[in-house]
Amino acid sequence: MAPPAPPARTPAKRPSTLVTVAVMLTIAIMGSLWVPIFARTQPELGGFPFFYWYQLILVPVTSVLCWICYLLLRTRRIRTQPGAPSRGATPQGTQGARR
């Protein structure tokens, strides 16, 4: 069961980034898990009771939160081909990729 390719590791992120990501994901999960927040009919919006429009709006909100987290955690592409620009490759990232 040999690995198909030598693993390139993703460089570790700063603690402040990780805390931000954790907070945002917690908000995203609790928004739909904490039922008493939205188990009500008022205020209505376009004929929809609160229970329904809140959840439908929560969908894109969660999506945006996940996208921001993705951007925060994204690792820059490390190009190993000779001649390709290595812009954004941090020293430890390159080292990780070459292991």
Partner 1 sequence: MNHVNAVTLTILVASFLLVTLIGFASARWRPAEDPMHLNEWGLGGRGFGTFVSWFLLGGDIYTAYTFIAVPALVYATGAAGFYALSYTIMVFPIVFIFGPRLWSVARARGYVSPGEFARGRFGSQGLGLAVALTGILATMPYIALQLVGIEAVLTVLGIGGGTNPVTRDLPLIIAFVVVAGYTYLAGLRAPALIAFVKDTLIYVTVIVAILYIPSRLGGWSHVFGVAQTHLTSTNPATGKPFGNIVVLPAGEWAYASLALGSALALFVYPHAVTGVFAAKRRDVIRRNAAMLPAYTLVLGLIALFGYLARSVPAVNAGVKAGGNNPQLSVPLLFQSMFPSWFAGIADAAIVIGALVPAAVMSIAAANLFTRTIYKELIRPYATPAEETKVARIASLLMKVGALGFVLELNKTFSINLQLLGGIWILQTFPAVVIGLYTRWFHRYGLCVGWLAGMVYGTVQAYRTTSAVQAHFASSAAPVLGHITYIAIVALLLNVAVSALFTVIFRWTGVQDGWDETKPGDYTADPVSAPAPAARTRRQDPLATR
Closest among 47, 5, 51, 45 to 32, alpha carbons compared: 51
**Angstrom distance (rounded) from CA 13 to CA 75:** 9
Which chain residues interact with partner 1 by CB under 8 A? 1-10, 25, 28-29, 31-36, 39-41, 44, 46-49, 51-52, 55-56, 58-60, 62-67, 69-70, 73-75, 77-80, 97
Nearer to partner 1, 20 or 51 (CB): 51
Nearer to partner 1, 20 or 32 (CB): 32
Least distance (Å) between residue 97 CB and partner 1: 5
Close Cβ partners of 20 (under 8 Å, ≥ 6 residues apart): 72
